[in-house]
Amino acid sequence: MNGQIGLIIHIQMMKIYASSIIGSHGNTAYKLLLNEYYYAMKVTIYWQNHQFRWIPYTSMVHLPTARRVATNRTRSTGRKHKIVDDKGILIDIINN
C-alpha cells in the first residue's frame, strides 16, 4: 500500500515538473517525462555486506525488473538490497 501511495505522489510531482518545464498543462509533457523516467533510466542494485557497506550487484534499465531481481535476491541471500538511479538518488530499499 505504501508503494502505491508513494507512486501516486511521485507521479503527481512529475506532472507539476513536466508542466513547468514545457510551460504547458497538456499530457504531452507528462508522457515524455514519464517515459524518459521509467524506460531510459539506468538503475543499479546494491547489496549490503556484513560490514554494512553497499556493494554493487548489477545495473538495469527497467525499474520493475530491477525491483523483482532485488526482491528475489533479498529472499535468497537474506541481505538488504537497494536500488539507486543513475544520478545516485535512492529509489527503494528491500529488506527480507
* CA angle centred on 33, ends 16 and 13, rounded to 5°: 25
| pTM score of the predicted model | 0.60
Q: Please check whether residue 56 is in contact with residue 44, taking contact to mean a CB–CB distance below 8 angstroms.
A: yes
pLDDT at 96: 82
pLDDT score of 8 more than 60: no
pLDDT tens column, 65-74: 999 999 999 9
Sign of the CA dihedral with 88 first, then 92, 93, and 96 last: negative
- Sequence-distant (6+) residues with CB within 8 A of 60 are 42, 43, 44, 45, 66, 69
pLDDT tens column, 28-74: 444 444 444 555 689 999 999 999 999 999 999 999 999 999 999 99
DSSP label at 55? E
